Copies of this chain bind each other. A is one copy, B any other.
Amino acid sequence: MARVTPADLPVRDRLLHAASTLFAERGFAETSIREIVEAAGVTKGGLYHYFDSKDALLSAIHDRMLTMQIARMNTIADATDLSLTERLHAIFADVVETSIANLDDAMVFFQSMHLLAPEHQARVRAERRRYHERLRDLVAEGQQTGEFRDDIPAALVIHYHFGALHRLGTWYRPDGRLTAEQVGEHFAELLVRSLAPSNT
């Protein structure tokens, strides 16, 4: 009877919350529909009333994250009154903070893209690619202006630093020493410093 999910939320949200928690904890394939409905305090039939399939649950979690991340990134990237360094710093610190704030969703998002149903996966991958490309372009722009070192391909730089983000869930603990803000600040610092042109 243990309810890991707030009982006052609408049924659909309870299901999403339970699914996100369980997928993050043990993985998508290792979580059964039975476990999700039990955690959400709903029956099997109930789940299928709101979601077409187990895949649909996963898709919903992805959509939620993707929409939010794209919007926030674009907002900051559009702030042309800031330097490229400042914008990269702000974007990365922000995505780290919001990922920690929604750690279950974020980990599901980062680690199970390949499990999405093919057609949904294509869409998510496309939007994700655009996200990365926009960041890559910021880096490339800085490399042309001399603000950033230019001896490392911009795309690789983005891959590199987003790797760190994707693994947050394996070591970050909300009750640990560091706040989300601090981690965001540290990560962003490492990112921009790694792009500093050599002194010579």
Contacts and interface: CB of A to CB of B under 8 A. Distances in A.
B159 A164 contact: yes
Interface string A150-191: 011100110111111111100100000110000100110111
Provide the main secondary structure of the chain A interface.
helix
A196 B163 CA distance: 21
Contact of A194 (B27, B114, B193): B193
Contacts of A195: 193
A101 interface: no
Contacts of A54: none
Given A114-B27, A167-B166, A193 B149 contact: yes
A115 to B, nearest CB: 7
A114 B160 CA distance: 23
A160 B190 contact: yes
Interface string A80-114: 00000000000000000000000000000001001
Interface of A: 26-27, 29-30, 111, 114-115, 149, 151-153, 156-157, 159-168, 171, 177-178, 183, 186-187, 189-191, 193-196, 198-199
